Amino acid sequence: MSSRSLPYHYQPLGQKSHSSLRGLIVHNPARWTVILLTTALSLMSIAYIVVQRPWGSDYDPTTQTNYWSSKPEAAPVQFGNAVYDPFFAPTPEEALASTTIRPIKAHAALSDECLDTWISTGEWRDPCHHDMVSDSVIDLIYVWVNGSDPIHQQVRKNLIAELKYSVKDARFRQHDELRYSLRAAANATKSWPTSTWHIITADVPDPEDDDGRLGLVPQWLDVTCAANSPPGGGPSIRLQHDAQLFRLTGKPGAALHASDARSWLERILPSFNSHAVESALPHLNPDTVSDNIVAFNDDQFLMLPAPPSMFHTTMYGSVFRVQWDLLVGADSSGKADGGGEWRSLGWSAHLLNQRFGERKRAYMQHNARSLSLPLLHELSLAFGEYFAATPLSHFRGSHRVPEEYEVNTIFLGAHYVVERHREALLWSWVVAKWGGASGKLSVEDKQGMWDELVGGGEDAQVEGDAAMLKFSGQAERTTAENIELNLLMAGVQPPRAFDKERQADTHYGWSSLDGYTPNFHELPKKTDIDRDQCLGRGAESAWSLFLRLLRGKPTCGDNVIAALVRSSKTGLSIFLPAPSSTEPSDPTDPITLPLILPSTAPPLPSNPRAFALRLIQRYAYVFGDTPTVFLGLRTASSAKIILANNDRKNKDTALVCLNDDLKNGDTGALDDALHEWFEGHWPESLGCELSGR
Ligand SMILES: *[C@@H]1O[C@H](CO)[C@@H](O)[C@H](O)[C@H]1NC(C)=O
Ligand SMILES: *[C@@H]1O[C@H](CO)[C@@H](O)[C@H](O)[C@H]1NC(C)=O
């Protein structure tokens, strides 16, 4: 563990010239000299210490600063014809990511006793009470850029020329979507507990101040009004900017220094890459942004009033909408198209395979996406070096160095949770329940485990000298039937609509309270376990069996979970270790399993059952289905027809994504068509809109 490869072994600074940007950003040779010198010094003094802490990724907490404080309150400024939001980018010290794994705040209100009942029985009943949870507080996150901003355009053009890159115009084109997407959200989320909306906009160098940056501002929005208390009591809207969010992460356990952050920032800015911006979402300030977020692009619209449970509940977790018939396989070659999503998807699938075992994983629907901020942050630490490499692509797909491809934060953000939940179940059963304090599995333990797998029902067929266990047909579970009642018992508005044309209808098709689904939508129909291959008969350490079921032989792990789930109609009690006699859990206990699993077992937490319960709940999730459409707009006239048709035929559409696939340059006509549709749906302005189109 003492040696590690340099996570930031990038082209040294200066090798790649940014000459065309100099005019805009830097005309100060002294500053460059200082930067070059510091970088050289820091490269020479690389003496990294790998801190060996089995559970966390924490390095020296004394280097942690309050790194969100770098935006002093400043009034918007006028420059040229437009208004901007001035700010200072974080200093290198501030640009080091916080490496403290965070709890999910709403879980603190769940007592150990309630959590025990909830996870073991899947029923919200005494000692779980009505007031322990409520409708989730959800913040909306918009990522936005005004591609017509003259400074943005200039910096972009220069960089494109310099990188000899070519970019589709549509990526930066806009048709006033943001305004209407916000109006739509205002209408759809009226019933929500107070939430805050955050618009993350691109930023440009301040032509009058070397150190300053100007954040783009939607020109129709009175930002001071929006940030405070908008008239009419809608949600506050706050602006944040790309360059404010970038934080350097590293391989878990690696110590990073301000000098690393300095050279990294020099290499990644300016950024015109939506994947890069998304990779910085984990670093949204947890003091001002809710744990539950929904990430929107400005071309995504909420069409109907929606309960918060369409996106999150504390009990069932984030609602992921996946396209389970579109599977993403690993591709580490970087050959796939980098201008779209596929290179980053293949690369991200590869990273998940390395960590959690090989399989194909469902594509995340291209629409408003539920994510958990603390879990995104944990994800960015778990794959720290890969997150750090992502913004090296100034434009989507522009950096083509092997192993430094862009991660797809949205895809990872969902599948990381799914995998960590599966991992938690396997750890709980193998390591905490059967391995116990000794961490060893004897021959008798192995027999006991096998009996537990077989015990799942009279339909089990054990063949050939008890070597093969076969179940056919899905397990009988009541998880799905219980959802509505459980939520009502807890005082949470359920996601199903009574009238689907008046309220967004979401069906929780899969809940993690049913274990794991290898096909991303239902309980397995067939479960085969080869005893020798999957469990083995000999004594071994619980940790090594856990690793085998987790990722060595992932199908074995899937089938073990599927067999155990058959032991009861609801709940996951069979996975849990017996209650221990120890006192309430030690506050210094870890809150997660290690980010990178070591080859030998870390010590058991002081109260394994309480730990397992918290762990399983931390990664709770559902796969949901909501009427959603993705409309590609190729010409202005066809756009009109497509939009009108959808309005007429699919009145239950809850989520719309409009994709600008315009073939020729007739943007004006498309603008008009969209504007008409927008105004038809959302004629009422937000409280802080300035007049004019
Ligand atoms: C985008 O920038 C252009 C040029 O500054 C400006 O005219 C337009 O109003 C901006 N659009 C928005 C929505 O801010
Ligand atoms: C909200 O939506 C309803 C129906 O979908 C519509 O009648 C109403 O005008 C909308 N309100 C706003 C503020 O757009």
Q: How far apart are CA 186 and CA 184, in angstroms?
A: 5
Q: Give, using CA atoms, the residue closest to atom 13 of ligand 2.
A: 684
What separation in Å is there between the alpha carbon of 336 and the centre of ligand 2?
Answer: 42
CA dist., res. 401 & res. 120, Å (int): 47
C-beta 671 within 6 A of ligand 1: no
Owner of token pair 């994510």: 371
Ligand 2 atom closest to residue 304's alpha carbon, by position in its atom list: 5
Using the atom order of ligand 1, give the atom closest to the CA of residue 80: 5
What single string gives the DSSP state of each residue in 83-103? Answer: EEEEEEPPPTTTTBPP-----
Q: What angle do CA 527, 486, 590 make, to 5 degrees?
A: 70
Question: Does the beta carbon of 149 sit less than 6 angstroms from any atom of ligand 1?
Answer: yes
Burial class (CB within 10 angstroms; exposed 0-12, middle 13-18, buried 19+) of 437: exposed
Regarding the beta carbon of 177 and ligand 1, being less than 6 Å apart is answered no
Write the burial class of residue 581 (CB in 10 Å: 0-12 exposed, 13-18 middle, 19+ buried). exposed
At residue 581, the pLDDT reads: 66
Alpha-carbon distance values, 563 to 513, 514, 520, 613 (Å): 14, 11, 17, 20
What pLDDT, on a 0 to 100 scale, did the predictor assign at position 46?
34
pLDDT computed for residue 465 by the predictor: 67
491 Cβ contact list (under 8 Å, min separation 6): 130, 131, 133, 134
User: For ligand 2, what atom is nearest to the CA of residue 303?
Assistant: 5
Element of type H or E holding 653: none
Cβ of 215 closer than 6 Å to ligand 1, yes or no, is: no
218 lines ligand 1 (CB under 6 A): yes
Q: Which atom of ligand 1 is nearest to the CA of 216?
A: 14
Per-residue pLDDT at 411: 98
150 Cα to the center of ligand 1, angstroms: 9
Q: Which two tokens stand for residue 393?
A: 């692509």
CB-defined site of ligand 2, < 6 Å: 183, 187, 682, 684
Residue 659 in contact with residue 631, Cβ under 8 Å?
A: yes
Ligand nearest 218 Cα, by number? 1
Q: Which two tokens stand for residue 105?
A: 């705040």
CA distances to 468, 554, 676 from 561, in Å = 16, 11, 52
Cβ atoms of 607 and 591 closer than 8 Å? no
Atom 8 in ligand 1: residue holding the nearest Cα? 219
The CA-based dihedral angle spanning residues 511, 515, 521, 527, taken in that order and rounded to the nearest 10 degrees: -150
**Residue position matching structure tokens 């805050």:** 196
- Give whole-number Cα distances, 442 to 129, 228, 318, 432, 514, in Å: 41, 63, 39, 15, 29
pLDDT at residue 267 in the model? 95
Which residues make beta-bridge pairs with 510? 623
| Ligand 1 atom at minimum distance from 81 CA | 5
Q: Is the peptide bond before 127 cis (omega within 30 degrees of 0)?
A: yes
Query: Does residue 378 line the site of ligand 1, with CB under 6 A?
Result: no
Which ligand ends up closest to the CA of 82? 1
Helix (H) or strand (E) holding 508: strand 507-511
Distance 453 CA to ligand 2 centre (A): 54
Give the SS3 label for residue 187: helix
Interval between CA 203 and ligand 1 midpoint (Å): 13
- Residue 180 Cα to ligand 2 middle (Å): 12
Residue among 182, 187, 191 to mutate when testing ligand 2 (max atoms within 8 A of CB): 187
Residue type, 681: H
* Pairwise CA distance, residues 677 & 138, whole Å: 27
How much distance in Å is there from the Cα of 182 to the middle of ligand 1? 17
Q: Return the residue matching tokens 């599995």.
A: 441
φ, ψ of residue 152 to 5 degrees: the values are: -60, -45
Please tell me the residue having the least CA distance from ligand 2 atom 11. 187
State the ligand closest to the CA atom of 78: 1
Q: What is the pLDDT of residue 56?
A: 38
The alpha carbon of 188 and the centre of ligand 2 are apart by a number of angstroms equal to 8
Domain ranges for the chain, please list them. 422-620, 628-681
Ligand 2: atom nearest CA of 682 is 14
Residue 681 C-alpha to ligand 2 middle, in angstroms?
A: 7
Q: Which of 148, 182, 204 to mutate to test the pocket of ligand 1 (most atoms within 8 A of CB)?
A: 148
Q: Which atom of ligand 2 is nearest to the CA of 184?
A: 14
Q: Tell me if 557 CB under 6 Å of ligand 1.
A: no
Q: Distance from the CA of 205 to the center of ligand 1, in angstroms?
A: 17
Pocket test for ligand 2, best of 653, 679, 682 (most atoms within 8 A of CB): 682
Q: Is the CB of 558 under 6 A from ligand 1?
A: no
Q: From the first residue on, what is the mean pLDDT of each consecutive set of 10 residues in the chain (693 residues)? A: 26 26 37 42 35 36 41 78 92 95 95 96 95 95 94 92 78 83 96 95 91 94 88 88 96 95 94 96 96 94 98 98 97 93 97 98 96 98 98 93 96 98 98 97 96 76 78 94 97 97 98 98 95 94 98 98 96 95 71 94 92 97 96 90 95 94 79 94 93 61
Question: How remote is the CA of residue 682 from the centroid of ligand 2, in Å?
Answer: 6
Residue of minimum CA distance from atom 2 in ligand 2: 187
Cβ–ligand 1 distance for 81 under 6 Å, the answer: yes
- Residue whose C-alpha is closest to residue 157's, from 215, 214, 204, 210: 204
Q: What is the spatial distance between Cα 410 and Cα 387, in angstroms, rounded to a whole number?
A: 12
Closest ligand to Cα 217 = 1
Instruction: Find out whether 348 and 411 touch, Cβ atoms under 8 Å.
Output: yes
